[in-house]
């Protein structure tokens, strides 16, 4: 049992450092918070946490070994992630100035539904190679092959819940009226800057494959 606690602490600390570092997940939650408010941002955060379940699943099933050993499989995942991040970047670059009241200029379709916000968060994490690399590097090293699958699933559940909790906290912070109000004064420029960030993430993935 003590061995499991040692594994858990290793995973928990590594995950804390990884989830707190800026990346596509943080950028999309920030964008949703500033553009659409708390409800959309929280549903996006739940989607991001749920996306972790995909990485946990293939780690438990041993598919992570295939991804780790197959350059082609991992390259396909990277290209898919780059394409999705590029799409998010283009959408953000098309952001329009706010009206005098601080809200965005009317756009076709209005704000995303809860389901759409969830799917956005899920896909952002599921196609995020940073998350993939975390599981490819962490689980084979930190978790013993003798650790029961149920215990490993417990590690995964912890990562899922703490990821949801962290990004929900980010959502609550950036949707506070005083903070969000300051950002919205120059909201479309911030949104466009986040678009450049998304495109930068996408480009870095493409260049990594071309080297």
Q: What is the pLDDT of residues 16-27, one digit of tens each?
A: 877 877 788 888
Alpha carbon 64 to its chain's center? 19
Domain-located, residue 66: yes
Q: Reduced to 3 states, what is the DSSP secondary structure of residue 97?
A: coil
Residue 76 pLDDT > 80 = no
Domain-located, residue 110: yes
Contact (CB, 8 A) for 135 and 68: no
The three-point CA angle 197-28-196 to 5° equals 15
Domain-located, residue 52: yes
At residue 104, what are phi and psi to the nearest 5 degrees?
Answer: -70, 150
Domain-located, residue 7: no
Per the structure, the complete domain to which residue 51 belongs is given by: 25-210
Rounded Cα–Cα distance for residues 110 and 193 (Å): 22
The better pLDDT of the pair 102, 94 is held by 94
Give the count of domains, the chain: 1
Per-residue model confidence as pLDDT tens digits over 103-161: 444 444 567 899 999 999 999 998 887 777 777 767 766 777 788 888 888 988 999 99
Rounded Cα–Cα distance for residues 49 and 142 (Å): 21
Domain-located, residue 5: no
Domain-located, residue 183: yes
The better pLDDT of the pair 61, 116 is held by 116
The better pLDDT of the pair 195, 36 is held by 36
Longest dimension (CA), the chain: 61
Per-residue model confidence as pLDDT tens digits over 99-117: 544 444 444 456 789 999 9
pLDDT band at 66 (very low <50, low <70, confident <90, very high): low
DSSP 111: S
pLDDT band at 74 (very low <50, low <70, confident <90, very high): low
Domain-located, residue 67: yes
Domain-located, residue 135: yes
Q: Which helix (H) or strand (E) holds 177?
A: helix 177-184
Residue 62 backbone class (left: φ over 0; alpha: ψ -120 to 50; beta: rest): left
């Amino acid at each position: 049992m003590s061995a499991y606690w040692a594994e858990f602490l290793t995973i928990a600390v590594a995950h804390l450092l990884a989830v707190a570092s800026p990346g596509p997940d943080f950028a999309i939650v920030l964008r949703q918070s500033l553009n659409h408010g708390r409800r959309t941002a929280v549903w996006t955060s739940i989607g991001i946490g749920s996306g972790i379940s995909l990485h946990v699943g293939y780690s438990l099933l041993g598919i992570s070994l295939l991804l780790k050993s197959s350059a082609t499989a991992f390259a396909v995942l990277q290209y898919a992630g780059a394409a999705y991040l590029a799409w998010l970047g283009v959408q953000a670059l098309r952001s329009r100035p706010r009206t005098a009241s601080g809200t965005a200029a009317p756009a076709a379709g209005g704000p995303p539904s809860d389901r759409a916000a969830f799917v956005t968060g899920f896909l952002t994490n599921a196609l995020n190679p940073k998350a993939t690399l975390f599981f490819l590097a962490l689980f084979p090293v930190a978790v013993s092959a003798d650790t029961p699958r149920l215990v490993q699933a417990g590690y995964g559940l912890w990562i899922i819940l703490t990821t949801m909790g962290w990004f929900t906290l980010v959502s609550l912070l950036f949707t506070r009226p005083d903070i969000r109000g300051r950002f919205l004064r120059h909201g479309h420029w911030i949104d466009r800057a986040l678009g450049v960030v998304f495109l930068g993430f996408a480009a870095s993935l493409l260049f990594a494959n071309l080297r």
